[in-house]
A and B are shown apart, each in its own frame.
Chain A
């Protein structure tokens, strides 16, 4: 079939010339960034059409800051190293909201499997790892937008946050890495339990321990010994530590935080890629 000359009138249904030749394949290292970009664009398009999830998910963090934050600021029960408790709490709640949205994003993959969206993507020239990396970063994009909303709420409540652009860029990087890990965590669990009912239950069951087993609400030093150990293995603690350092200016271990979260994200992507094939069956 040779390409027919392009008809001058656009209403002709036979203008198919471009559909006659297959596109040239991207190869090597270019594949993963291209797929990541594709997934992130889809996420932004979805958010452009419908932002209700971002707003409804901002209600809970707002309540945490408003009720829990204001109350504990007044009773001064938690040692914060001299800063107002609301300021101390804000990065914790920001990290929490990013974590919730990315865990839920990972859970959505089981809907995409059941509806055939995932199945179809698995039949494109996209290696499993590239698909998972794309999803992980798309979760990051969504989480960053959620974080912007919560940061604005915190600022309105009088939390003194940095507006230094470099530090804000650091915040974006931390949130993306953390969300990559948490979305891959739920994708991995999806690959193990395989059905949406089981996954929903487990999703609910892991978010609270991750949250309370971190330094989001109180410093690690105030925890009992066993919880301190758990907190050490909890990526959310590192995310909160970095966010506090960057946004509020408390002493933080930024090098460790970035390293741990980057490692956790890589581990999550590896695990989720390995388990993704089970979802295809």
Chain B
């Protein structure tokens, strides 16, 4: 418990309690109160029956950064994401997105979010363009702007050529980029990606990340991403939290995390020939490596397989 609690990057919840939050912001405002924190979790817990999926997580995602939530299958990453995206109910005061309370100001929160779930979620029986246009419509993009906005979103992910093909004919990497376009068309302030590269081959993984980075550079949006690929996290994330069995075990920049372990190793007189990797950091805080976690429970494996087989 203490490990998780002390993981709060700005040392406790006192500051947050004082934060100004409008109690009932009218739906007309699309901007949250200008909060330095894009996401803040304060002692988040969530259980499915007797399974404690998230067990006391404190977390703060700063505006403008790429924040990576890392952990093996079953760590509780998706559950935390689903709470932040208003899909799972939590008590008021636990989760805030740009200052809006996820429990009480759902519509305000949703207007600020672009969400790409873990499964491949584009509609296979619509074209790429139609998939994106649907999201433009449900985010109230005006008719005047819609077509052009959809064009720009598709262009931003490199799908201009394939726009009028059915999404069912896309490769896994293309579907992921299409989903990215769906999320981008509403100009979200926070982009949430749940395992965006799961089941993709290395080239498609790079393609997805390349487009995420480009769009972020152009728009300055905040990105919250989960992954169990340590190399991606190291390469693309500004800050990380390592999650294991529902708790945050360590957090910081990739460099900080690695340096900390390196220092401790040197103090302890352990001599390692190879440089410290995030995989080592994870092994250190979780007691075992990512690869020997047993891969979570059956349903995780099954879900991942299904995604993987659709990705082909």
Q: Which residues of A contact B (CB under 8 A)?
A: 1, 13-27, 34-35, 37-38, 41-42, 45-46, 49-50, 114-117, 119-127, 277, 280-281
Assign chain B's interface to a size class. Answer: 35 or more
- Interface set of B (CB-CB < 8 Å, partner A): 27-28, 30, 85-89, 107, 110-113, 115-123, 125-127, 130, 134-142, 145, 148-149, 152-153, 155-156, 158, 166, 179, 182, 184-189, 214-215, 218-220
Give 8 new A-B contacts, CB below 8 A, not counting A23-B187, A25-B111. A18-B187, A41-B137, A42-B130, A46-B126, A49-B127, A116-B118, A122-B87, A281-B87
Contact between B138 and A19, CB atoms less than 8 A apart: no
Contacts of B125 in A (CB 8 A): 46, 49-50
Q: A24 contacts which of B134, B135, B142 (Cβ < 8 Å)?
A: B142
Residues of B within 8 A of A18 (CB): 145, 148-149, 152, 187
Shortest CB-to-CB span from A191 to chain B, Å, is 15
- Whether the Cβ atoms of B220 and A121 lie closer than 8 Å is no
Contacts of A277 in B (CB 8 A): 89
Complex Cα gap A129–B109 (Å)? 18
Q: Compute how far the CA of A125 lies from the CA of B135 in the bound complex, rounded to whole angstroms.
A: 10
* 4 nearest A-B residue pairs (beta carbon): A116-B121, A116-B119, A38-B137, A23-B141
Which residues of chain A are within 8 angstroms of B117 by Cβ–Cβ distance? 116, 119-120
A125 lies within 8 A of B140 (CB): yes
A117 to chain B: which residues have CB within 8 Å?
A: 121-123
A1 touches which of B115, B148, B186, B218 (Cβ 8 Å): B218
Nearest-neighbor residue (CB-CB) of A112 within chain B: B123
The answer to whether A123 touches B137 (Cβ under 8 A) is: no
Beyond A46-B126, A123-B115, whether A19 also contacts B219 by CB under 8 A is yes
CB distance from A143 to the nearest CB of B (A): 18
Name the B residues within 8 Å of A45 (CB-CB): 126-127, 130
Whether the pair B120, A116 counts as a contact (CB closer than 8 A) is yes
The CA-CA distance from A41 to B110 in the complex, in Å, is 22
A38 touches B138 (CB 8 A): yes
| Complex CA–CA separation, A25 to B141 (angstroms) | 8
CB atoms of B139 and A23 under 8 A apart? yes
Complex Cα–Cα for A181 and B182 (A): 30
B111 in contact with A22 (CB, 8 Å): yes
What is the minimal beta-carbon distance from B92 to any residue of chain A, in angstroms?
17
Q: CB distance B113 to A13 under 8 Å?
A: no
